[in-house]
Structure 1
Amino acid sequence: MKLSAPIYQLKRRAKLMVRKGSVPLHQALDTIAQEEGFARWSLLSAHAAAGPLSRTLLSQLEPGDLLLLAGRRGQGKTALGLQLLLDAVRLDRKAVLFTLEFTEKEAREHLRTRSDGVDDLSDQVEIVTSEEISADYVVLHLSGAPAGTVAVIDYLQILDQKRNKPPLFEQIGSLGVFAKQSGTILGFISQIDRSFDPSSKPLPDISDIRMPNLVDLGLFNKACFLHDGAAQMQNIG
């Protein structure tokens, strides 16, 4: 869905509504979003953030990469991860979503939305929803997959939520070894810490990744940070 104007112009219109109508900014933003065909501003913002970058993200990744897709809730990180998988399918590459958040039906619906209604495209993305998802599970599932396979894990901070799973730093270490040996690209949807203050910097960075459990973020070599319609790729390894 194409916006009628760049997001900074839409925000300017919302601020004018605030000044003229004495309505709260969040209400004005939601009104603008609804005029653009979105239920609320956070969905419009997520669409804007994921849009331009999604067309080039896969071309910036190489076999063996470990990628962080990081942002606050509603900023487009999941949409970007799903688009990455759809782009892989377009290039006849194997694409797998490992999700501890969505049911298969929910994930499939989100994929179909991102694929502009091309059902056969979204149907080619494999969706794994097992509660047993962990590094060992992912490695076993992708064993034998061709080099260039793209997998997205949703999401990083709950990989070790169950006590029977290894610590997160061990899981990321083993996944990094597997990615390099197999030529698989692994993307990890990641939360941003609540301490991130957009008034002090426009985008979060590696220091803002929410880490409830110890992990060396240097194990990842690339990251994409999203906030309020903006997105930026960074090399971090």
Structure 2
Amino acid sequence: MRLSAPVYHLKRRARLLSRRENVPLHTALDRIAGEEGFGSWSLLAAKAAEVKPAGTLLARLLPGDMVLVAARPGQGKTLMSLELAVAAMKQGSRAVFFTLEYMHADILDRFRDIGIDPAAFDHQFEFDNSDAINADYVIETLRSAPRGTLAVIDYLQLLDQKRENPELMVQIRALKSFARERGLVLVFISQVDRSFDSSGKPVPDIGDIRLPNPLDLSLFDKACFLNKGEIRFHAT
């Protein structure tokens, strides 16, 4: 199934349509679904749920993996990472979301954007937006986490923004060693360089990761790139 945009973008379009034309939201959703070739929004949502790319990516991951989820702004990398966390929790694992960007209420809203009730995972999901987040902080927080825990770090380029933090390369090497030792999966949301041009290639790749500071990207095991509803997985 190929949609013109991610499902959450289509929902936003429907909300705007509902307000602009003063029609019920369910009517607007059905109209957007019709534009995508579906008879109703429920049919589109059901079909989208069957092919959640997060499940495809999770099936490729092994304990100890370091993963990049990268895209330009507004392409769904945060939601993709949350869907990956949900897929892991549905399999019985714990998930932790470290962020230097979002408040807790923002993440709860993102859960709802992907059709998930956050209360369903109360005892499996942990949110952390401490200003102290860096490699040492993540390692200390996850030191007693059970094997198979999936942690999302939002986002890669902010880890060494503070001068007192170690260089990014040093932090990623420490996190890689820790993830391997403890059997955890670490997912890093990453920015893509502004020079990326989708007219040349539909989806960014490892060469498009924005690196304000030196980093050996071979420290990551797998990567997921998103652009305009298209998703591609790569081994790094």
Q: Distance in 1 between matches of 2:205 and 2:91?
A: 30
Shift of 1:36: 4.4
8 Å Cα contact 1:100/1:155 also seen in 2: yes
8 Å Cα contact 1:65/1:184 also seen in 2: yes
8 Å Cα contact 1:179/1:185 also seen in 2: yes
Q: Distance in 1 between matches of 2:118 and 2:105?
A: 16
8 Å Cα contact 1:95/1:126 also seen in 2: yes
**Residue in 2 that maps onto 1:168:** 168
Q: Distance in 2 between matches of 1:178 and 1:117?
A: 31
Within the candidate set 2, 7, 18, 2:3 is matched to 7
Query: What SS does structure 1 have at the residue aligned with 2:52?
Result: helix
8 Å Cα contact 1:96/1:152 also seen in 2: yes
Query: What SS does structure 2 have at the residue aligned with 1:233?
Result: strand
Structure 1 residue 102 corresponds to structure 2 residue 102 = yes
**Residue in 2 that maps onto 1:42:** none
Query: What SS does structure 1 have at the residue aligned with 2:98?
Result: strand
* Overall identity of the aligned pairs, in %: 45
- Deviation per CA, 1:82-105: give whole Å up to 9, x if none: 111111111111110000000122
**Residue in 2 that maps onto 1:217:** 217
Structure 1 ranges of 4+ moved more than 6 A: none
Structural mapping, 1:27-46, within 5 Å:
34=17, 35-36=28-29
- Deviation per CA, 1:203-224: give whole Å up to 9, x if none: 1000000001111111111000
**Residue in 2 that maps onto 1:149:** 149
- Cα gap change, 1:60 to 1:212, in 2 (>3 Å): same
**Residue in 2 that maps onto 1:204:** 204
Q: Distance in 1 between matches of 2:165 and 2:76?
A: 28
- Cα gap change, 1:66 to 1:32, in 2 (>3 Å): same
**Residue in 1 that maps onto 2:66:** 66
Query: What SS does structure 2 have at the residue aligned with 1:7?
Result: coil
What amino acid is aligned across from residue 113 of structure 2 in structure 1?
A: T
**Residue in 2 that maps onto 1:43:** none
What amino acid is aligned across from residue 155 of structure 2 in structure 1?
A: Y
For structure 2, the 5+ residue unaligned runs are 6-12, 18-27, 33-47
Q: Distance in 2 between matches of 1:176 and 1:150?
A: 13
Q: Distance in 2 between matches of 1:209 and 1:66?
A: 15
8 Å Cα contact 1:111/1:122 also seen in 2: no
- Deviation per CA, 1:108-160: give whole Å up to 9, x if none: 22123324336323663100010000000000000021111100000000011
Q: Distance in 2 between matches of 1:145 and 1:76?
A: 27
How many residues align? The count is 202
Q: Distance in 1 between matches of 2:181 and 2:195?
A: 36
What amino acid is aligned across from residue 103 of structure 1 in structure 2?
A: M
8 Å Cα contact 1:98/1:151 also seen in 2: yes
Structural mapping, 1:92-131, within 5 Å:
92-117=92-117, 119-121=119-121, 124-131=124-131
Query: What SS does structure 1 have at the residue aligned with 2:193?
Result: coil
8 Å Cα contact 1:223/1:233 also seen in 2: yes
What amino acid is aligned across from residue 134 of structure 2 in structure 1?
A: S
For structure 1, the 5+ residue unaligned runs are 11-29, 39-47
What amino acid is aligned across from residue 232 of structure 1 in structure 2?
A: R
TM-score (norm 1): 0.78
TM-score (norm 2): 0.79
Q: Distance in 2 between matches of 1:138 and 1:158?
A: 13
